[in-house]
Amino acid sequence: MTKAKRKRLIYNCITFAIVIIAFIVLQSMIENKTITRALKGQLIPICCWIVMAVSLNLVIGISGELSLGHAGFMSVGAFTGAVVSGYLLHGLGVENETLRLVLAIVGGGLIAGLAGVVIGIPVLRLRGDYLAIVTLAFGEIIRNLVNVTYIGVSDGALVFNFLRKNVPENTRMLVDGASGAVKVAKISTFTAGFVLVLITLVVVLNLINSRSGRAIKAIRDNRIAAESMGVPVTKYKMMAFVTAAVLAGMAGALYGLNSSTVVPSQFTFNQSINVLVFVVLGGLGNVLGSVISATLLTVLPEVLRAFADYRMLVYAIVLILVMIFTNNPTIRAFADRIFAPVKRLFTGKKEAEAA
Amino acid sequence: MTEKKRHSDTRMVPVPSHSIVPERDLGSQPVLETSHLGIEFGGLKAVEDFNLTIGRTEIAGLIGPNGAGKTTVFNLITKVYEPTTGTVLINGKDTHGMNIVQASRLGIARTFQNIRLFGNMSVEDNVCIGLHNQIRYSMMEGVLRLPRYWGAERKMHKEALELLSIFDMQDLADTQAGSLPYGAQRRLEIVRALATNPSLLLLDEPAAGMNPHETEELMENIIKIRDRFQIAIMLIEHDMNLVMGICEGICVLNYGKVIAKGTAQEIQNNPVVVEAYLGKRKEGEK
Amino acid sequence: MIFLDNLVNGISLGSIYAIIALGYTMVYGIAKMLNFAHGDVIMMGAYIAFCALQYWNLPPFLALVVAMLACTVMGVVIEGLAYRPLRQAASLAVLITAIGMSYLLQNLALMIWGANPKSFPSSMISIPTISLFGGQLKIAGATLVTILANIVIMVALTLFTSKTKTGKAMRCVSEDRGAASLMGINVNRTISITFAIGSALAAVAGILLCSSYPTLQPTTGSMPGIKAFTAAVFGGIGSIPGAMLGGLLLGVIEIFGKAYISTELGDAIVFAVLIIVLLVKPAGLLGKTVREKV
């Protein structure tokens, strides 16, 4: 095994170990009832945000395209999940909650993936800032469209209205336009969230370290060179974009089924930026970093209530500072010089051993 | 076109050429054939009426003063640009309407004048991108780590190291490509291009920035590559020692037009070429 | 008459978009970056004008001058502190920084002025409503001023970039930054001037926007900002007449879409138009396509 492969294996093992250990600890805390209420309520959202951050990292860090509409896919997933779960319960009379949750998550992922394909076809032909602004536009379009979508169950059949609400009297509304999905049965579980996080990590980490992942990274590094090597650009950009959309849709379904009301205005541009902050602070292309920053930044505001008012202000400043510190050559060289003795402590030892 | 041009008219080297590869078959289909190839950028004719044929194992040189349109010819052959006029046949197939990827699959590979490596990836991964279409498995097989993934990855690793050994670069396999020294980056580009299993390799200034010793080594390696892989190589180069030393046929371009074609000796003695490089001798001047 | 009414409203809204779009297009053309915070500079300008009118009791003209000066300083400071260190960085890094700056401004406004919407005083533009066709078509004073301001700014800017030395320097820097600096043009100063002009225009746009749509809150600038960027892209980013054309078309499309298709889908229609334009003409209506050098 080469050195690079060994390093990669260790990194992946650490990532999975951290997630699995965290789950076991939290699960035992739940069983012993030693967990605080506030933290318990945050467990499922944390799982959702981890999945969102890791999937967005696939688009931004690995594929190198700035997507500003990731919350749109979450929205699609959340409302699809609510419809699937609601229809199974009220339309088909399926009582089994686990089955409903699994089907809702799968449905959310599928429909979000479909949205990803529809959006990806025009968007991925563009480059750079244009791509960013168009993904933003799509996120807003999705929100607008959900605002005028009415879906309900009437006599075991699905009723679907667009633009104008026109449903039979006895309809039970599942998605009610701008008021969103109301009276959703809360069926999300922490275990489901954990499994979803594991699936996301397996998919993203294995994808990155495979033939397809290499192609995606090659396109990011140099599009023309990748094309000259016979790598079809659109196919692989699409692969990263749609995979991320599917994962975001699944996270959305889990998120939506964790609260009794879901409104379209929960998934605005601001939410996309929130996830972007997780990704940037965790490190572009660093999956473990995304997991950690998504967890910390979801828990922190809850822990520091007083700080919550300034949360976005601090986010903004940190975002700017991180960008300047990691991208300005002068500041970077300065930081490297300061940290050089610290680095030597670790690397110097190894060199001495080798010599 | 009413009458198809005969290969012998566009061939750079008069038939039969002084080949050092004895089995070179001039009768068989050429790797590359261009006829009346031209492109205009907003009225400016960057390349005009470019006719060229390259045999299966020929080493050809494309030279000319700066701005003559040499790289543009490469871009036309590799379909970075769609030509305004004329055709490009690769292994006898018309590339009209194709994109870069499709052209690459017909068997052309290239290096770039301004190096275009995948800088954040390892040297080995760079070569693996070249092997992208040689060793395949699907996304699902990769994500689920099915047996084919392991087999293909093992094969890819082996082949990448074998290709890197051409330039003695196996030990650098784990290095980040962007941090390699300049000469090594140029060599890696050649290895990466070779990995796509091309029948025609286009080298855009392979010796740029190399010292005389490195250039000497490169010349040997280019011939070695041709002999070992039995492919045609076409190169753009300003180093005349290299061009005259290894190219069996040379084509001189000036202002987008071919001004001379022939062997090294013919080109060196051609007054038009001398004029293009050094300017016209004034009358009365000796 | 409803049609004419909508058309006038559309042109008025479009004029505001056009003025905002100018800020985007100039900065994009010269600094090659998408200044995401531009929309929030508009909001800041409107708040400052609001304070000048409401708390400091300044006359409208002085309020305009104060807001323009404050925004100019803000623009130059933002550029110097956040964007200048990233001159050589990848565009992704610059864009994320600009998004951070946008959030910083919004949250500053939230801290200073609170989340409750403020009603922008109508005393800013005190021109009476004009009635045409026997009272069938009414044009508000603010609408008239907006359209006139747009025309004046457009003419002034075109003259500035084509006739003055600074304007020519700006065009040089946008063509080729390296060559411009070799010719002795101070690139950093030119970019600062561009930000200054763009931000001063943002203050004007903010005041005009809030005169027609008087709800003022920290997020007031973000949606018009995004739409004006859309307008700039629509018209061809980097082109001053393009910003004008894109802004006007977008305003008209938005008002007509809301009036004849669906109120809720107004934004969606605007963005759908952007996407279609980018697919058909990737460089916008008046933009020119640049070939990537290989």
pLDDT of B7 > 70? The answer is no
Residues A171 and A152: beta-carbon distance below 8 Å: yes
Q: Give domain limits for chain B.
A: 7-117+182-278, 121-179
Residue-level pLDDT at C44: 94
More confidently predicted of A128 and C114: C114
Q: Which chains touch B (3 or more CB pairs under 8 A)?
A: A, C
**Chain B interface, mutation test: which of A214, A217, A233, A236, most B Cβ atoms within 10 Å?**
A214
User: Is it true that domain A3-303 has CATH number 1.20.1050?
Assistant: no
Chain A contact for B99, CB < 8 A?
yes
Alpha helices in C118-265 (DSSP H): 141-163, 165-175, 177-182, 187-212, 222-235, 240-260
pLDDT of A176 > 90? The answer is no
Half-sphere exposure of B89 (CA within 13 A, CB side): 18
Q: Which chains touch C (3 or more CB pairs under 8 A)?
A: A, B
Q: Give domain limits for chain A.
A: 3-303, 310-355
Whole-number percent of chain B with pLDDT over 70: 88
Name chain A contacts of B121, Cβ cutoff 8 Å. 214, 217-218, 221
Mean pLDDT value across residues A71-94: 92
3-class secondary structure, C170: helix
Paired sense of beta strands B200-204 and B108-110, if any = parallel
Q: Give the amino acid at C284.
A: G
Q: What is the pTM of this model?
A: 0.87
Q: How far is B150 from chain C (nearest CA, A)?
A: 35
**CB proximity under 8 Å: C 241-260 to B:** none
Task: Determine the Cα–Cα distance for residues C79 and C84; give it in Å rounded to an integer.
Answer: 6
CATH topology of domain B7-117+182-278: Rossmann fold (3.40.50)
Mean pLDDT value across residues C38-54: 92
Chain A contact for B204, CB < 8 A?
no
Mean pLDDT value across residues B112-141: 93
Residue-level pLDDT at A352: 41
Residues C16 and C212: beta-carbon distance below 8 Å: yes
Q: How far is C120 from chain A (nearest CA, A)?
A: 25
Instruction: Give me the residue from B116, B126, B149 closest to A210, CB to CB.
Output: B149
Residue-level pLDDT at B275: 84
Subunit contact A327:C282, Cβ cutoff 8 A: no
What is the per-residue pLDDT across A290-344, written as a single tens digit (0 to 9) for each? 999 999 888 877 666 666 677 778 878 888 888 888 888 888 788 777 777 776 6
Residue-level pLDDT at A353: 40
At A345, is the pLDDT very low, low, confident or very high (cuts 50, 70, 90)?
low
Which tokens sit at B148? Answer: 């084919």
Subunit contact A229:B144, Cβ cutoff 8 A: no
Own/partner contacts of A164-173, CB < 8 Å, gap of 24 or more, are A172/A86, A172/A90
What is the per-residue pLDDT across B97-109, written as a single tens digit (0 to 9) for each? 899 999 999 999 9
Chain B contact for C291, CB < 8 A?
yes
Task: Determine the Cα–Cα distance for residues B12 and B33; give it in Å rounded to an integer.
Answer: 11
Residue-level pLDDT at A102: 95
Instruction: Give me the residue from A202, A203, A214 closest to B129, CB to CB.
Output: A214
Chain A contact for C283, CB < 8 A?
no
More confidently predicted of B184 and B26: B184
**CB proximity under 8 Å: A 36-75 to C:** 60, 64, 66, 68
Whole-number percent of chain C with pLDDT over 70: 96
At A349, is the pLDDT very low, low, confident or very high (cuts 50, 70, 90)?
very low
pLDDT of B10 > 70? The answer is no
* Residues in a beta bridge with B176: B122
**CB proximity under 8 Å: A 292-321 to C:** 310, 312-313, 315-317, 319-320
* Residues in a beta bridge with B93: B90
**Cα C135–C211–A269 angle (5° rounding)?**
120
Chain B contact for A169, CB < 8 A?
no
Residues C180 and C172: beta-carbon distance below 8 Å: yes
Own/partner contacts of A31-34, CB < 8 Å, gap of 24 or more, are none
Name chain A contacts of C282, Cβ cutoff 8 Å. 125-126, 130
Which tokens sit at C138? Answer: 């009414």
Which tokens sit at B226? Answer: 């041709």
Task: Determine the Cα–Cα distance for residues A51 and A70; give it in Å rounded to an integer.
Answer: 11
Mean pLDDT value across residues B232-248: 92
Which tokens sit at A109? Answer: 């992922």
